[in-house]
Amino acid sequence: MACKMMDALSVVSQLRDLASEPQNREAIVKDKGCLPGLVLFLDHYNLQVLHCALQALQYLAECPSNRVIMKNELGMMNNLESLQESANKKAKTITLQIDGLHNMDSRNICEGVLLQVNGVISFTFQMALQRCVVRIYSDLKIESLASAIAATKILQAHQVVKSENGEEAVVPLNTGISKAEQNLNLPDYLPEDESTEIEHCKAISQTGAKGNTNGKWLNAAANFLTKTFYW
């Protein structure tokens, strides 16, 4: 099983890397094996394989001439729509300000950490603001998320919340690794940020937290691709 997984991950990673180059995108979509293969990977049990497949498809969809072909590929829309479905009814969205989130290297590190945290459903980055918008199960403690990020030794997460007047404030989180700075000027009424507004950038998500590895995948990238095909 591990060997098959590595084979699938190797193949889809290579396709993703090739698709990242604009000059390769038309050829990949016209190939009789590449596009159907990526569609099959959308139903893969392994998060990394699924993630790479969605990244590859997003790259390919950036070429306007590919979109009709991709939309009409057997199984494409059904798989993307399935990825958009979420069986989760108890979730919340939080916004994290992440110190050290400066470039793609730090983003990749943060992404890898979040993918390993049980209870994380989806997330998307706002690199210009050094922020990450994360959707999580309601029983996942935000401090656990902050601790996982702090364990990288180069990133530190704080929660962005809004007051009743709509003003933002950054709240330190206790990671259990290092003592968080305390801001004594924060008002007591600051609620968690439940905003669902997410900028159009790559979003990653997972379900099957709670040990259900066969659960449905919720992925904002699938939503992005679906809207792309129905432009």
| 72-102 per-position pLDDT tens digit | 999 998 888 777 667 444 678 899 999 999 9
Main-chain phi, psi angles of 92, to 5 degrees: -140, 155
Q: Is residue 190 part of a domain?
A: yes
Residues 96 and 200 in one domain: yes
Structure confidence at residue 173 (pLDDT): 86
H or E, element range at 104: helix 104-115
Per-residue model confidence as pLDDT tens digits over 115-160:
888 888 888 888 999 999 998 888 888 899 999 999 999 999 999 9
pLDDT score, position 148 = 93
Q: Is residue 211 part of a domain?
A: no
CATH of the domain at 19: 1.25.10.10
Residues 131 and 175 in one domain: yes
Number of domains in the chain: 2
pTM: 0.45
113 and 81 in a common domain: no
Domain identity same for 21 and 109? no
- Residue 133 included in any domain: yes
Residues 143 and 37 in one domain: no
Higher pLDDT, 23 or 165: 23
Residues 128 and 164 in one domain: yes
Closest of 148, 161, 121 to residue 137, by C-alpha: 121
Tell whether 9 and 113 lie within a shared domain: no
Residue 52 sits in the same domain as residue 105: no
In this prediction, residue 200 has a pLDDT band, given cuts at 50, 70 and 90, of very low
- In CATH, what number is assigned to the domain containing residue 174? 3.30.70.100
Residues 46 and 105 in one domain: no
Q: Are residues 68 and 122 in the same domain?
A: no
Are 125 and 200 spatial neighbours (Cβ–Cβ below 8 Å)? no
| Domain boundaries, position 180 | 91-205
